[in-house]
Amino acid sequence: MPAFFGKYRGKVAVNKDPQHLGRIQVSVPAIFGTGRQSWAMPCTPYAGKDIGFFTIPPVGSNVWVEFEGGDPDYPIWAGCFWGEDQLPQDARVEDPDKVQVFRTPYGITLTLSNLGDNKGATLIVDSPTVSRKLKMIFNADGIEINNKDETTIKIKADIIELKNRANSTITISQSNIESKQTSVKTDLTATTIDLICNPATVKLSASAGIELNNTPANAKFNASGIELSATAPQIKMTPAQIEISNVASNIKLLPVGVNVNNGALEVI
């Protein structure tokens, strides 16, 4: 029997190995002709008991086949190659040495890139595995988790941002936590809380107290007292007095009496 050394072009005919050894059934026309198929053992870079690097090419894929000791009864599939127009889209770049792509037939793609603005690692899970495209990006900016470009989580050096399809966001920084939903916004810092529902606002401050505003109405509560206003009309309450005013008119209630219009009338 002649010996066959070197590699020969083959195709995957069957990829479901009943012995679970990583074998594939190959056709190698140059050796077997067109009517014979043989089980070929894998040549993998890493294998052992319950460990290893396991990838099986789909039926119809191009494979390189060689033979153990040159014996055609002991074929080995040593690797794969692409046919014309079969290269994954993410690998079709001008500098192919700067990108590594692992893509399955089921819409899962891992891309490791050192190309320009795309440096980093990207994991995409798409149809038919899932109905909504899922993406994870690791780059110089940080980490992004993306659900069909509608719902995202971004983790950067000093900011975490969560966003949904309605464009509602929660942003967490070193100094504050901010949430937005259309016209509603909250902002929390170490000493303040701001609530906005346009045109109404609420401000809570460790130093300034509480301020409620819905133009023209405004209310302030602080250590000095309470102030209520609606443009010109105002009410101010302090530990010492209560003052009610409206433009030029005012009433002051003091512990010792009542003062009207800055002394025009005084009741003691």
DSSP 261: T
Q: Name residue 234's amino acid.
A: Q
Contact between 72 and 1 under an 8 Å Cβ cutoff? The reply is: yes
CB within 8 A of 106, min separation 6: which ones? Answer: 128, 129
CA distance 170 to 161: 6
CA atoms lying within 13 Å on the CB side of residue 120 = 13
pLDDT, one tens digit per residue, over 32-65 is 998 889 999 999 999 999 999 999 999 999 999 9
Q: Locate 118 and state its tokens.
A: 């795309």
CA–CA separation, 140 vs 119, rounded Å? 8
Structure tokens at 189: 């810092």
239: DSSP letter: S
Tokens of 132: 């909504």
> Considering the entire predicted model, what is its pTM?
0.72
Task: State the residue for tokens 């052992």.
Answer: 48
* pLDDT digits (tens), the chain, 268 positions: 789 999 999 999 999 999 999 999 999 999 999 888 999 999 999 999 999 999 999 999 999 999 999 999 999 999 999 999 999 988 998 898 999 999 999 999 999 999 888 899 999 999 999 999 999 999 998 999 999 888 999 999 899 999 988 888 999 998 899 999 888 899 999 899 999 988 899 999 988 899 999 888 889 998 889 989 888 788 889 888 888 888 778 888 888 777 777 665 556 5
For residues 15 and 47, is the Cβ–Cβ distance under 8 A? no
Count other C-beta atoms under 10 Å from residue 259's C-beta.
19
DSSP-assigned letter for residue 229:
E
Residues 254, 268: contact at Cβ < 8 Å? no
What's the rounded Cα separation, in Å, for the pair 160 and 138?
14
Residue 265 sits at the vertex; the CA angle it makes with 262 and 267, to the nearest 5 degrees, is 110
Query: Is the separation of the CB atoms in 113 and 120 below 8 Å?
Result: yes
What is d(CA 57, CA 16) in angstroms, rounded to the nearest whole number? 10
Q: How far from 176 is each of 141, 185, 189, 195, 211, CA to CA, in Å?
A: 20, 13, 4, 13, 19
pLDDT at 267: 60
What region, left, alpha or beta, does residue 213 occupy, with left being phi > 0 and alpha being psi -120 to 50 degrees? beta
Burial zone of 189 (CB within 10 Å; 0-12 exposed, 13-18 middle, 19+ buried): middle
